[in-house]
Structure 1
Amino acid sequence: MNDLDPLSPNSPDSQRRLLVALALAMALTFAYTFFFAPKGAPVEAGATDGGQQVAAVTDAGTPTLAPGMETAGTPPPAGTGSEGAVANAEAPPPPVRTLEFERTSAHYTFTSQGAGLTSAVLQGEKMREQQHLSIAEGYKLLFGGQVPPPPQMNLAQPVAGQPVPLSVTIAGPQPLPAGTHYAVAETGAEGGVTFTARQGPWEVTKSLQWPKEGFELVYTLQVKNTSAQPATGELQVHYNRAIDPQNEHAPSFFGGVGNLSYASCHVGEEKHKLAADQKQPDPEKMRGTVQYFGIDQQYFLSALYPLDGPMQGRCELTATPEARSVAAIFPLTVAPGQTVTYRFGGYFGPKEPDLLAAVPGQAVREAAGLTATSVNPQLGETVDFGLWAVIAKLLVTVMKFFHGLVGNWGVAIILLTVLVKLLLLPLTHRSMVSMEAMKKLQPRIEEVRKKYADDRERQNLEMMKVYQENKVSPFGGCLPMIIQMPVWIALFTALRNSYDIYQEPFFGPVWRDLTYKDPTYLLPLALGVSMIITQKLQPQMGDPAQAKMMTWVVPVIFTLTLFNYPAGLALYIFTNNLLSIAQQYGLRKWLEKRGGGGGGVPAGTATATAGGKRK
């Protein structure tokens, strides 16, 4: 047969037909495998896979623990070890479940993927986000309109791509990821849930219990080594929270109270906090005994702390404009068949000093078997008044006393203003008497100005000589403001940190939160008018340009600055200005009466009074 015979198996046509046939056969096999082949039968409840029992699923889709998984301390089935670990890895994970628990103080939502919180919504009128009202909304409220209230405070908002709050990770040669699927077992009507997962050599059981009331919980974490070899790694406990940058701003002495959230950890002897755009703390300072960790916001706190006292470990803080994250990391070494237990207390609620000082509360102590003095996580230090702590705490204490009498925090601030005014009365009285005396000296001062108009240095010397001869101070008018400045700063600090006053109204629907700015700007404007009147009652110092600046420019700048300050601070300064106007007016009438009426204070009387004794 000729080699070119088309029927020859060695001919090009025969080889081409063979290749086409093989390609068609492979394509048909591929299609059958992926589109027509029957699927594997599902694993039945209670069946085994390689010697490892898996979780069963009820008709409602609710996973129940299969035999051998009810408790963390149950021995692993036969074959556990390296072979059992492989079986564990191959076992299908339990389906994801969402669990909701409603309590008096909060509504909790858990997910079985990561066994953590997806929301912790606080309940109650004060447990809300700080409302940001526009000018239009403020005047709408003023004239009887309605504005939707701000949302309830949610202290557990998962961050996309990051572990959910309360989830754990085991880092090391045999890792356990944060997103591991857990089987679920609820623990009854008293409140609690237990999550269990197995992967590699690890069997992790997480139990959470909380009282019916309050903001605390007990978080017990058991890690068991089910293999025949020692297992080591690092246990990482996560707490992350998503942030809306549009609703967050940093506190500033010139920009308002703020509602910034920080990733926070108290490790060793120091408390560390981190917000977006802030410098990372020194990693070496983040190692030591961990006392607590969590997310610290302006008036609310989400924190975990070791229930058996501070534990050796370290913290990692992360802050971006969209998220705050903290991980507490502890060394983990577990012998074959042994279980290591970690116990944490949790507080998810307002930064109310009395509540923080009582953590852990009585219900948590009883559940965890703690003595009265066994642990103190020092959560009260998260209410940070800074350099003004002494004065700020004193002001809060006084306001709480007045609030107990009148039941209104705005009225309590007014009564505080009256009290401070009375305490400073001797100093302000001397200052006002000095200012009244200076008015009598104005003709002589004008003569000095005209006489030495071309020599400013000599003019100032001669003016000071006149003041000294009559024993008056040209700076006496500034004394009341200088004295009040520490009180103003301390009150601002108190409003910025005190949950007692947060979301507390003055009166009417407009001033519904004394820690937030006045959305109508009526209080700052009234304050500015009262400040102008106060300046006009004082003697005009310096040249006309300086006098005009003190009378008009300074009050306008001060008013514009206070537009973003808390309404409670504007209320205090406005009330103080009204009291100062009344005091100045009454003093003037009294001095005129003593001087025989007419145009002012007799020279002898003014000089003697300003000098502090009578001739």
Structure 2
Amino acid sequence: MWEWFTNFLTMVLAGIQGIVGDWGLAVIILTFIIRLILTPLMNHSTKSTARMQVMQPKLQEIQERYADDPTRQSEEMRKAYADMHFNPIGGCLPIFLQMPIFFGLFSVIKQVPADASFFGILPSIAKSCADMVALGDWVAAAPYILFDVLFGVLTFIPMVLNNFAAQDSAQKSQTMTMGVVMSIMMLWFGWSVPSAVLLYYVTSSTWQVIQQKLITSKVMEKARADAEAEAANRPVEVDVVRREKKPRPHKKD
């Protein structure tokens, strides 16, 4: 199955290259096609995130109220998700769908010509930063290093944009710390991967940042407003505990 997928991806990439005449540009166009296909799922993921933000106070209340009863807590959490039509997996689906393509490029890049370039900026999209630095030609290695830096920066920017929507200061601090750590990890990872993978990720992340600024924020605002209106119209549930009837005391003779 995996071999079929990588062969199909190679065929598509080669077909695009045959039209545009450049392998690096073919990777960029392939990325655009994939992001266009995933746009409806990304919008659905955004709506799920907005609903999750609206649900957060209720979920915290459930966790505190039933802290000593894990079974009841799980039951109430499932009920809250069902009431708000929220699917926790829905928010992660676009990422899961991109992962095979991201890792498939490692196999695809082995099947392209050794001199497959990106308009001469990257003489070989099969080589990595580490490969170019090892050659000792820092001028030729500079564009590869630049793409690796962009790889790290574009990992950090979406987290910063998401951080603006966070209300809790502790959550903001945690997100920023996580963003810095992830960026450093991506810089380290990107140093040794083929530049075609960097080109794919940089293009995909640039698309995500633009989409987040122009489309995602509007979709999230509308989804949050709809979720808040839906929650406000839902009747408040009150747990009623009936008192146990005790026998009336009788007068002694």
Q: Is TM (by shorter chain) over 0.5?
A: yes
Letter in 2 for 1:406: V
Residue 412 (str. 1) matches residue 26 (str. 2):
yes
CA distance in 2, matches of 1:548, 1:405: 42
The answer for the alignment partner of 2:112 in structure 1 is: 499
Cα 1:457–1:583 change in 2 (3 A) is farther
Counterpart in the other structure of 1:514: 125
- The 8 Å contact of residues 488 and 569 in structure 1, kept in 2 or not, is answered as yes
8 A Cα contact 1:448 1:463, kept in partner: yes
In the alignment, structure 1 segments of 5+ residues that lack a partner are 1-386, 608-615
Residues 18-70 of structure 1, C-alpha deviation per residue, up to 9 Å, x if partnerless? xxxxxxxxxxxxxxxxxxxxxxxxxxxxxxxxxxxxxxxxxxxxxxxxxxxxx
Q: Which residue of 2 is the match for residue 527 of structure 1?
A: 151
1:560 aligned onto 2:173: no
Q: How many residues align?
A: 211
- TM-aligned CA deviation for residue 477 of structure 1: 3.3
Question: Is 2:223 the counterpart of 1:587?
Answer: no
Separation (CA, whole Å) in 2 of partners of 1:525 and 1:464? 42
Question: Aligned partners of 1:590 and 1:429: how far apart in 2?
Answer: 7
Instruction: Give the TM-score taking structure 2 as reference length.
Output: 0.67
Q: 1:403 aligns with which of 1, 6, 17?
A: 17
Q: 1:572 aligns with which of 187, 195, 200?
A: 200
Q: Secondary structure at the match of 1:424?
A: helix
Question: Displacement of 1:389 after TM fit?
Answer: 2.1
Secondary structure (helix, strand or coil) at the match of 1:602 reads helix
How far does the alpha carbon of each residue in 1:69-98 deviate from its partner, in whole angstroms, 9 at most, with x for none? Answer: xxxxxxxxxxxxxxxxxxxxxxxxxxxxxx
Distance 1:447 1:481 in 2: 30
User: Is the aligned partner of 1:388 residue 2:12?
Assistant: no
1:403 is paired with a residue of what secondary structure? Answer: helix
- Once the two structures are overlaid, the 10-residue window that deviates more, 429-438 or 485-494, is 429-438
Q: Write the distance in 1 (CA, Å) between the matches of 2:146 and 2:73.
A: 41
Unmatched runs of 5 consecutive residues or more in structure 2: 130-140, 232-253
Letter in structure 1 aligned against 2:41: L
Distance 1:399 1:605 in 2: 46
Whether contact under 8 Å (1:527, 1:570) holds in the other structure is: yes
Q: Highest CA radius of gyration, 1 or 2?
A: 1
SS at match of 1:513: coil
Contact kept, 8 Å, 2:10 with 2:108, in 1: the verdict is yes
Map of 1:32 onto structure 2: none
Q: Is the 8 A contact 2:159 2:175 kept in 1?
A: no
Q: Deviations over 1:490-533 (max 9, x none)?
A: 111111x2133x22222454x21101113443223212222223
**Cα distance in 2, alignment partners of residues 393 and 470 from structure 1:** 42
**Cα distance, 1:459 vs. partner?**
9.9
Q: Displacement, 1:444? A: 3.1
> For residue 111 of structure 2, what is the amino acid of its counterpart?
S
Question: Does 2:94 correspond to 1:480?
Answer: yes
Tell me which amino acid in the other structure corresponds to 1:588: S
Task: Check whether the contact 1:432–1:584 (CA below 8 A) recurs between aligned residues.
Answer: no
CA 1:480–1:528 in structure 2 vs 1: closer, same or farther (change >3 Å)?
Answer: farther
| Cα distance between partner residues in 1 of 2:80 and 2:203 | 35
Matches within 5 A, 1:27-66: none
Q: Which of the two has greater helix per residue?
A: 2
Q: Identity of paired residues, percent?
A: 28
Provide the C-alpha distance between the structure 1 equivalents of 2:97 and 2:58, rounded to a whole number of angstroms.
Answer: 29
Q: Which residue of 1 aligns with 2:57?
A: 443
SS of structure 2 residue aligned to 1:564? coil
Tell me: CA distance 1:403–1:476, structure 2 relative to 1, closer, same or farther (3 Å). Answer: same
Distance of 1:574 and 1:486 partners within structure 2: 17
Q: Report the RMSD for the aligned CA atoms in angstroms.
A: 3.5
- Is the Cα contact below 8 Å between 1:403 and 1:409 reproduced in 2? yes
> Matches of 1:552 and 1:455 in 2, distance apart?
36
Between the aligned partners of 2:61 and 2:153, the Cα distance in structure 1 is: 32
The separation in 2 between residues aligned to 1:418 and 1:606, in whole angstroms, is 35
State how far apart, in whole Å, the 2-side matches of 1:536 and 1:466 are: 29
Provide the rounded CA distance (Å) in 1 between the counterparts of 2:147 and 2:16.
22
Please give the TM-score of this superposition, normalised by the length of structure 1. Answer: 0.30
2:52 partner SS? helix
The residue that corresponds to 1:353 in the other structure is none
Alignment map for 1:269-280 (pairs within 5 Å): none
Q: Which residue of 2 aligns with 1:427?
A: 41
CA contact under 8 A between 1:448 and 1:459: conserved in structure 2? no
Alignment-mate amino acid for residue 444 of structure 1: K
Amino acid at match of 2:208: S
Q: Secondary structure at the match of 2:32?
A: helix
Change (3 A) 1:397 1:508: same
Distance in 2 (CA, whole Å) between partners of 1:485 and 1:583 is 19
In structure 1, C-alpha distance between the alignment counterparts of 2:230 and 2:155, rounded to whole Å: 25
Deviation at 1:559, TM superposition (A): 3.5
For 1:549 and 1:425, the matched residues in 2 are separated by 28
CA distance in 1, matches of 2:161, 2:87: 16
Residue 459 to residue 406, structure 1, CA distance change in 2 (3 Å): farther
Alignment of 1:5-16 (within 5 A): none
- Please give the secondary structure, in 2, of the residue aligned with 1:601: helix
C-alpha distance in 2 between matches for 1:503 and 1:606: 57
Aligned residues of 2:154 and 2:206 also touching (Cα < 8 A): yes
